[in-house]
Structure 1
């Protein structure tokens, strides 16, 4: 008799692009839902990009991360919740994405508070409509 083990963690890929389906300076996809333990590989498909967490937009028990410009970075998301991610050089141009880990159905009340550039805020609002 075979016993079912824990679900295997998945690897997801996100492209960091100068231009994509949502316009200039984007992560593709811009919204990603994953399970705790899944890993996301951020791929510098175009030069000049990085991926880093926005400290005020990650779960309290999550570890912040910061990738280097022009380099791939793999992040394993263990803590459930929402993660706001930016490309530091292009944050003001709206280069952001949202990773939803686990059974997240809405953003925390204060999720979009603070100093978020207008283009980034607009993209975050669109991404959160996927919850």
Structure 2
């Protein structure tokens, strides 16, 4: 039998634990061949501002694509992932940081994305050392850095 104080404490604890998950957001990212406006081989959106606990779901809108982490642009201690070709995949943002994503078949064509979690990502220095492969990936990466600097 719970005392009145015990019931109040139990209900408060339950409410707090549920509230932590209630505010998590799901970001949906489409994997596309074109956006219809001249941009080819892209994630849409390709720059995501997220919070720890949010999920990012990569959905196939056009084929063939995959989503996988860029290990050189990834928070320390967070497991990397590699989605299969034409596979929908969901990741959970585990801690603050910059998360780089690529579609391996179209990486050099510029199919990259960036997820930023937190106001001061602890792995921000990776932006200075990471060198994308391909002219288009380099161009998009520079756009991401500019977006991040503007925030």
TM-score normalised according to structure 1 size: 0.88
**Partner residue of 1:69?**
85
Matched, 1:124 2:141: yes
Q: For the residues of structure 2 that align with 1:39 and 1:61, how far apart are their CA atoms? A: 18
The 3-state SS of whatever aligns with 1:27 is: strand
Structure ranking higher in helix proportion: 2
In structure 1, runs of 5+ residues without a counterpart are none
Deviation at 1:62, TM superposition (A): 1.3
Instruction: Classify 1:121/1:106 alpha carbon distance in 2 versus 1 (closer, same or farther; 3 Å).
Output: farther
Cα distance in structure 2, aligned partners of 1:110 and 1:116: 12
Cα deviation, residue 94, structure 1: 0.6
Hey, what's the Cα distance between the residues in 2 that align with 1:113 and 1:38? 27
Aligned to 2:64, which of 44, 48, 52? 48
What stretches of structure 2 of length at least 5 have no aligned partner? 1-11
Which has the greater radius of gyration?
2
Question: Contact 1:44–1:72 (CA<8 Å) still a contact in 2?
Answer: yes
The number of aligned residues is: 131
Query: In the TM superposition, what whole-angstrom CA distance separates every residue of 1:80-100 from its partner, at most 9, and x where no partner exists?
Result: 100111000000101000000
- C-alpha RMSD of matched pairs (Å): 2.3
The structure that is strand-richer by fraction is: 1
Contact 2:98–2:115 (CA under 8 A) maintained in structure 1: yes
8 Å Cα contact 2:73/2:126 also seen in 1: no
1:53–1:24 CA distance, 2 compared to 1 (3 A)? same
Q: Tell me: higher relative CO, structure 1 or 2? Use CA pairs within 8 A at least 6 residues apart.
A: 1
